[in-house]
């Protein structure tokens, strides 16, 4: 799986959009971009994933650049409960082999009142 | 929504005790995983199972065993707990036709 680079920490004001960047310059054509987050002392929570098109769900939007070398996770209206560590991962689409997830350092997002 | 539950959120055991951690999922997923997570070391895969009674070792299986007698249930067993097994244990599930792993809430195990 390709390596990702994220800033170690970011702050965001409550109610504002949080834009979390991720670089994955060595991504392969069959690798998806996944985002998870982990709130302190809880299990990781799946947020969103995409291959090359932008994606949106009830939690967030994922913007992937045309060359797929970077992406941005957008939380449109951050709340205090969005304070967490956010992990960007790239991984191959399933091959039924039960591929393990590998989390890097992630970005610690602090949402402030 | 996928629901993955783990038997305990917090557990304290003594060295040498046998410890059972249980994970249950309600999405009929084929693949189930046990990870441990430690500060500075990220997620490390202990075991995974791709079907009932099937199991594969992950990166750090020593000191652990697993059991998958039913599709929805995957148990992690510490035969003789040691202090270096103090950690956060995370269960995850994944369907064979989906690309997304869903995690349980985690069990923070302390071995004294």
Query: B96 contacts in A (CB within 8 Å)?
Result: 94, 96
Instruction: Give the up-direction half-sphere exposure of residue A109: CA atoms within 13 A in the CB hemisphere.
Output: 29
pLDDT tens digits along B47-57: 999 999 999 99
Q: State both tokens at A100.
A: 């393990």
pLDDT tens digits along A43-90: 999 999 999 989 999 999 999 999 999 999 999 999 999 999 999 998
Q: Which of A65, A68, A66, A71 is nearest to A87 (CA)?
A: A71
Percent of chain B at pLDDT > 70 equals 98
Nearest CA in chain B to A95: B96
Query: A62 contacts in B (CB within 8 Å)?
Result: none
What pLDDT is recorded for position A1? 63
Query: B45 contacts in A (CB within 8 Å)?
Result: 100
3-state secondary structure string across A69-94: CEEEEEECCCCHHHCEEEEEEEEECC
What pLDDT is recorded for position B47? 95
Chain centroid to CA A79: how far? 17
The mean-pLDDT minimum among A14-18, A26-30, B45-49 falls in A26-30
Query: B31 contacts in A (CB within 8 Å)?
Result: 96, 98
Question: Across the interface, which of A91, A97, A103 has its CB nearest the CB of B43?
Answer: A103
Averaged confidence pLDDT in chain B: 93
Cα separation, B32 vs B95, in Å, equals: 9
Cα separation, A44 vs A3, in Å, equals: 19
Question: Across the interface, which of B96, B98, B103 has its CB nearest the CB of A44?
Answer: B103
A66 φ, ψ (degrees, to nearest 5): -60, -35
Question: Across the interface, which of B30, B49, B90 has its CB nearest the CB of A43?
Answer: B90
């Amino acid at each position: 799986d390709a390596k990702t680079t994220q800033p170690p920490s970011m702050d965001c004001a409550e109610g504002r959009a949080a834009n979390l960047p991720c670089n994955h310059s060595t991504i392969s054509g069959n690798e998806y971009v996944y985002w998870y987050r982990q709130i302190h002392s809880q299990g990781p929570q799946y947020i969103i994933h995409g291959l090359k098109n932008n994606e949106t769900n009830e939690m967030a939007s994922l913007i992937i650049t045309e060359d797929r070398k970077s992406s941005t996770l957008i939380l449109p209206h951050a709340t205090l409960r969005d304070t967490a560590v956010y992990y960007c991962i790239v991984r191959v689409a399933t091959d039924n082999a039960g591929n393990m997830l590998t989390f890097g350092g992630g970005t610690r997002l602090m949402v402030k009142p | 929504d996928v629901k993955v539950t783990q038997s305990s959120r917090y557990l304290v055991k003594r060295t040498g005790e046998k410890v059972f951690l249980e994970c249950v999922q309600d999405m009929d997923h084929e693949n189930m995983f046990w990870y441990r997570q430690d500060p500075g070391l990220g997620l490390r895969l202990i075991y995974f199972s791709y079907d009932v009674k099937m199991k594969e070792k992950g990166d750090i299986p020593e000191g652990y065993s697993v059991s998958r007698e039913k599709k929805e249930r995957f148990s992690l067993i510490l035969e003789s707990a040691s202090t270096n097994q103090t950690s956060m244990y995370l269960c995850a599930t994944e369907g064979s036709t989906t690309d997304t792993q869903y995690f349980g809430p985690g069990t923070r195990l302390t071995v004294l």
